[in-house]
Amino acid sequence: MTALLGEGLRLSYGDRVVAEGFDIALPAGKVSVLVGPNACGKSTALRALARLLTPTAGAVYLGDAPITGFSHRELARRLALLPQSPIAPDGITVRDLVARGRTPHQRWWRQWSRADEEIVERALAATGTAELADRNLDELSGGQRQRVWIALALAQETPVLLLDEPTTYLDLAFQVDVLELVAELNERNGTTVVMVLHDLNQACRYADHLVAMRAGTVIAAGPPTEVVTPELVREVFGLECRIITCPVAGTPIVVPEGRPRRGGAGFPSAGK
């Protein structure tokens, strides 16, 4: 069962074409991760899947229906997106921001309800931001802020959740925290998750379905254990590496080749 499908997409910003004849299929109820070198078009692909960018050719399908057929509100009830650097008004409180997630479910004749309130409180609790609820967003650390934005997407209660580099600017503990949260969401609610990640090892660890991209094309797609090979990493990233198995999760870990270095040895400037 495919949750999101892109067929023959031509993606461009003005005259600059990022991808041409781009095909992608993402399974429902799974965690899919897009990886690839910088500027390979993975964020652009995600934007097209979320209908933030209109392809100049080809079509995107959400479930069985063309994504262009949904009204803005209908789409926002089916698919939530966390953009790469989201903006909120200065001085907004965490609770007010997360409450905005209920917008697509509200009409002028049925605005805020008790159910909305419960969903928002649950989203706050799920992301561990309940105790921050009355704080201003500006006062929070990067990791806290990212969890608040995820809470906003959760409050939308959509079956599909798209995250554009949710771990950027976070330290390692927060990165793992955010990814664990996403995995939990997927397991518990069956939410289809699609994210763009930079770290290939994290991608292997958390993806059910890995999509490796390079220069606007999908090079390989499938379960990380099947897809990730030294040849693939060479082709996609131009990096020589070995693949070992993660002792915790049994997923592939990419170890780059290159000059072996002994910690602390040699001149400070050696190797520069």
Partner 1 sequence: MSVHTVRPAPDRLATPAPARRVRRYGWELPPFGGLVRPRALGVFAAVLGLATAALVASVSIGQFAIPVDDVVRALTGTGGADATLIVRELRLPRALTALLVGVAFGLAGALMQAVTRNPLASPDLIGISAGASTGGVAAMLIGGATAAGAGSYPTVPFGALAGALVAAAVCYGMAFRDGTITGFRFVLVGIGVQGALTALTSWLLARADINEASRAMVWLTGSLNGRGFEHAWWMGLALLCCVPLVLALIRPYQLLQYGDDTARALGLPVDRARMLLLLASVVLAAVATAAAGPIGFVALAAPQVARRLTGTANLPLLTSGAVGAALLLLADLAARLLLAPIELPVGVVTGVVGAPYLMWLLVRANRVGRAG
- Site residues for partner 1 per CB under 8 A: 13-14, 50-52, 72-77, 80-83, 85-93, 95-96, 99-101, 103-104, 108-114, 117-119, 121-122, 125-128, 133-134, 152-153, 156, 176, 180-181, 183-185, 187-189, 206, 248-251
Measured from the CB of residue 150, what is the shortest distance to partner 1 in angstroms?
12
Angle at Cα 153 formed by Cα 43 and Cα 130, nearest 5°? 130
Measured from the CB of residue 238, what is the shortest distance to partner 1 in angstroms?
29
Angle at Cα 141 formed by Cα 140 and Cα 144, nearest 5°? 80
In the complex with partner 1, which residue's Cβ is closer, 96 or 235? 96
In the complex with partner 1, which residue's Cβ is closer, 45 or 80? 80
In the complex with partner 1, which residue's Cβ is closer, 74 or 257? 74
Measured from the CB of residue 91, what is the shortest distance to partner 1 in angstroms?
5
In the complex with partner 1, which residue's Cβ is closer, 74 or 240? 74
In the complex with partner 1, which residue's Cβ is closer, 121 or 199? 121
How buried is residue 148: exposed, middle or buried, by Cβ count under 10 Å (0-12/13-18/19+)? Answer: buried
Closest CA to 33 of 174, 188, 245, 213: 213
Measured from the CB of residue 32, what is the shortest distance to partner 1 in angstroms?
15
Measured from the CB of residue 65, what is the shortest distance to partner 1 in angstroms?
17
Measured from the CB of residue 88, what is the shortest distance to partner 1 in angstroms?
6
Closest CA to 250 of 206, 220, 186: 206
In the complex with partner 1, which residue's Cβ is closer, 73 or 234? 73
In the complex with partner 1, which residue's Cβ is closer, 40 or 179? 179
CA 217, CA 19: separation in Å to the nearest integer? 7
Measured from the CB of residue 193, what is the shortest distance to partner 1 in angstroms?
13
CA distances from 131 to 86, 121, 127, 134 (A): 22, 11, 10, 8
